[in-house]
Amino acid sequence: MSVATQYQHVAAELAQACRQFGRDPAQVRLIAVSKTVGLAEVGDALAAGAGDFGENRPDELVRKANGYPQATWHFIGNIQSRRIPDIVAHASLVHSLYQARHAEKINAQAEKLGKVQDVLLEVNVSGEESKSGVSPAQAPELLQACLMLPNVRVRGLMTMAPQGSPAVAREVFEGLACLHAQLKGELEPQVAAQFDELSMGMSQDWREAVAAGATMVRIGRAVFSDAFCE
Ligand SMILES: *Cc1c(COP(=O)(O)O)cnc(C)c1O
């Protein structure tokens, strides 16, 4: 199948799942994770209607965002201090912030560029050692630290579920939604109003994420890999 066909198929399935779970399809954004493909495939997805793309490596973010500045670019990978200038220059949303020291550097860089950087806090809900993210218990402290930074705006939370069990994935996603509601309840109204995003769900588990309240799903293989089968 072509990238265009696969993209349109996933988009249709997503809209269908939204209806099934009582979600408004306009409230769940499909982010095409293009980390394994080149510029041509990004162009194919763009032509098929994709508007949001995710990258996990700064080099690729820079290359592809320069190739397609009309798209919206999301940084979903591990943050390294020395790459923060590239990330802030190109990402409209950083999904993977979990350290206060990176928040401070993002703030400084965003100030230089005259922008406010939208970020999500990555939370390790499952507690797996292989996963990055702040623990749910430490999320309030990180959120408070970010709220002190005028050029960083925390838009919500992100997580990744363990592979393999839809039931476990669903629990993890519901855990993130619950943490989000708790944190939101403690924010000032104007801040709370912008703290509205839940980035969760990938090719294998996006349906569970939609059921649990995802506002963004990050889908790579189901859009870009011929070999992906559910
Ligand atoms: C690669 C990646 C995805 C997409 O995963 P697929 O299984 O290919 O859909 C989503 N989120 C993050 C953080 C990733 O690194």
E-strand stretches of 46-200: 52-55, 72-75, 93-97, 117-122, 152-158, 197-199
Output the CA 54–ligand 1 centroid distance in Å.
8
Output the CA 190–ligand 1 centroid distance in Å.
32
184: left (phi over 0), alpha (psi -120 to 50) or beta: alpha
Atom of ligand 1 nearest to the CA of 206: 9
List all residues whose CB is within 6 A of at least one atom of ligand 1.
33, 35, 56, 76, 160, 202-204, 218-222
Residue type, 163: Q
Walk along the chain (230 residues) and give the pLDDT tens digit of each residue. Answer: 899 999 999 999 999 999 999 999 999 999 999 999 999 999 999 999 999 999 999 999 999 999 999 999 999 999 999 999 999 999 999 999 999 999 999 999 999 999 999 999 999 999 999 999 999 999 999 999 999 999 999 999 999 999 999 999 999 999 999 999 999 999 999 999 999 999 999 999 999 999 999 999 999 999 999 877 66
Residue nearest to atom 1 of ligand 1 (CA): 220
**Residue of 33, 35, 60, 198 best suited for mutating to test ligand 1, as the one with most atoms within 8 Å of CB:** 33
Neighbouring-strand partners of residue 158: 122, 199
Cβ contact 30:14 at 8 Å: yes
- C-alpha 194/C-alpha 185 separation (Å) is 12
